[in-house]
Amino acid sequence: MTRIIRMIALLLIALLAGGVAAQDAADNYYLLQFETPAELVEYFRLDSGAGPIVVAHRGGGTFDGFPELAVESFENALRYGPAIIEVDVRLTADNQMVLMHDETIDRTTTGSGNVGDFTLAELRELRLVNNDGEVTPYRIPTLEEALAWAKDRAVVWLDIKNATPEQILEAVNAQDAGNRVVIAAYTPEAIDFYFTNAPEYLYTTPFNAVEDVQRVIDMGADMGHMIGLGGWDTPNLDIVNALAEQNVRTLVSMDRETDPAVLAGDLGVEVYQNIVDQGVMVLNTDNYPIVAEALGLGE
């Protein structure tokens, strides 16, 4: 059973599949905590009773003036609901794992060049820039720092850009963080490695056709430890239903078309509930505060 350490008042979702979402009334944070990887895995099962789960794309650095993939952005996202924090992992020149979506640092920092051309110490000298081009006081975090921050706070969704499965698993194991991570596995080799070496953890991989369900099973994946990546904006209901037959949730990302249309007023916020009503029970969004309110995550 999950322990709530920082909670002062108001349980939001009690003992859902062994996990607890709660609000820290003093700091207005919504916390999502699991004691074991098994509790996290069960929470993400389609029949867990957890309701729709919402992922804060790029760590929640797309609103309130915060930059992408800053620890401070993660913290801010938790003020709106029990967010799953999506992060992108890249390697530095000295083989350290940092959080950066783009191959270059030009768009999101005060520097310029490829991430892999800088050491960690050099990247630490930079400041993160938000989506309005404003320089913030925040620095590029490491994967190690993100995992440490997430303890007793949130679940971190690891989108791996160029780190190896061996490096990711070493970092997760070093902090005993299997109770707070979802790990992306994009290749047959990665799926085989993870399910051979850490079958107790929770993973995600793309499903582009119904036939991919059996293909992933044949790779050695345990579908009980899997979340399906179902593309962008418009769900393929054949895939959603095929995964549902395995008791697996499908994630659909809203950031390409749906999120911008909602911000522009071309779509109403009810579009997010409509997606959920089609069976998509994990949404990845740039509009986390809007989606959290639309789906009642903070109620």
CA torsion angle 154 85 171 194 (round to 10): 100
Pairwise CA distance, residues 250 & 45, whole Å:
10
Residue 128 half-sphere exposure toward CB, CA atoms < 13 A: 23
Active site residue 101: yes
Pairwise CA distance, residues 109 & 232, whole Å:
27
Pairwise CA distance, residues 237 & 185, whole Å:
22
The active-site residue, picked from 57, 90, 139, 180, is: 57
Geometric angle at alpha carbon 85, from 83 and 88, rounded to 5°: 165
CA 83 to chain centre: 8
Pairwise CA distance, residues 15 & 229, whole Å:
26
The active-site residue, picked from 45, 58, 90, 101, is: 101
Active site residue 57: yes
Geometric angle at alpha carbon 126, from 155 and 149, rounded to 5°: 20
141-145: Cβ within 8 A, 24+ apart: 141/69, 141/70, 141/71, 141/98, 141/99, 142/96, 142/97, 142/98, 142/99, 143/87, 143/89, 143/97, 143/98, 143/99, 143/168, 143/171, 144/97, 144/171, 144/174, 144/175, 145/71
Positions of E strands within 8-64: 11-16, 19-24, 29-33, 53-56
| Cβ pair 283, 254 in contact under 8 A | yes
Q: Which residues are catalytic?
A: 57, 101
